[in-house]
Amino acid sequence: MRTPLLPTPFRALVIGSSGSIGSAFLELLENNPDCAMVTGIHRHSIPSINYEDPSSIQLAAQALSAQAPFDLIINTIGILHSEQWMPEKKLDDLNAEQLNHLIQINTIGPALTLKYFSKLLTPHASVMAALSAKVGSIEDNRLGGWYSYRASKAALNMLIKTAAIEFSRTKPNTTLVALHPGTVNSRLSKPFRGEQIGRPALDAAKDMLNVIQSLDSNDSGSFISYTGEKLPW
């Protein structure tokens, strides 16, 4: 029988708490009797975090240090498309601006979040989870397309795996994972029939929280679906 990694009660932080999944996590944890305290931060919170301004990441972590340590940190920030462009269907659609922007938001921002926010984790037993996406799996890529999004999430996966290896030496009681939320009815998925084929964000958050609460230390450095299935990198 697995011993839960999170203490009871636990203290949580949701990064990107204004988004569909982030706000669902915040609501879920606010109503969870095992969660003693949850804090949410986003672009318009105080402190604020904005991946288009990398300096805000360190400043936000410093501002939250007074509330630390946290037993659980969940990062839900990510981008798939914008008003200017959609995911590429073919190589000819690839452009530098789009690729740079997705790597900024989906890779560099979460990497710096790992760097600064991991210092706020409780040292005796903690979990840090970042939302990735199954389409970031190189081995599972069967359809092609979506160059910038796939590449940015694949790079994020590598950063999480690499940091987990370091944590095994420097933070052996911290479990670090990448989570795939599945298709969720959100702003991100709306252009791709998310309203029809996606499930509510609160259901996705519940599924992922169940996965988090079932983790053990051997799961650190894993890429895990909301169903609990381990995905190939």
Whole-number Å distance between alpha carbons of 203 and 213: 15
Grade residue 82 by pLDDT with cuts at 50, 70 and 90.
confident
Q: Which residue has the higher pLDDT, 81 or 62?
A: 62
Share of the chain above pLDDT 70, in %: 94
CATH number belonging to the domain at 10-225, selected among 3.30.160.270, 3.10.50.40, 3.40.50.300, 3.40.50.720: 3.40.50.720
What is the radius of gyration, based on Cα positions, of the chain? Answer: 17
Model pTM score: 0.93
Instruction: Please give the structure tokens belonging to residue 17.
Output: 């708490």
Q: Is the pLDDT of residue 13 over 50?
A: yes
